[in-house]
Amino acid sequence: MSMWTAIALISIAGIMAGIFRDRGKRHNSKAITEELEAIHARMDALEKDLRDRVETLERIITNPKEDLKRQFDHLDKAS
């Protein structure tokens, strides 16, 4: 094998390695992007659930009937 053949084979091997490495990076980044999107969707769902719970608690606390019920319960416990 001549020196030029060896240089050509080494160059081709380097180019092929670079191509495979770039494909691997793109594949990994695609998988990471999909995973991040799934996490983001889950966080959005949790945020909506928490907002709904807070709204329900606010409705209960500000409801005059519930306030009256709490006052009666407090009076029952005091006596």
Ranges of each domain in the chain = 3-78
Query: CA-CA distance, 68 to 63, in Å (whole number)?
Result: 9
Model's pTM, two decimal places? 0.49
pLDDT tens digit string along 17-56? 888 887 777 777 777 888 889 999 999 999 999 999 999 8
Q: Of the spans 10-14, 29-33, 43-47, 61-65, which averages the highest pLDDT? A: 43-47
Q: What is the mean pLDDT of residues 53-65?
A: 84
pLDDT beyond 80 at 75: no
Query: CA-CA distance, 62 to 58, in Å (whole number)?
Result: 6
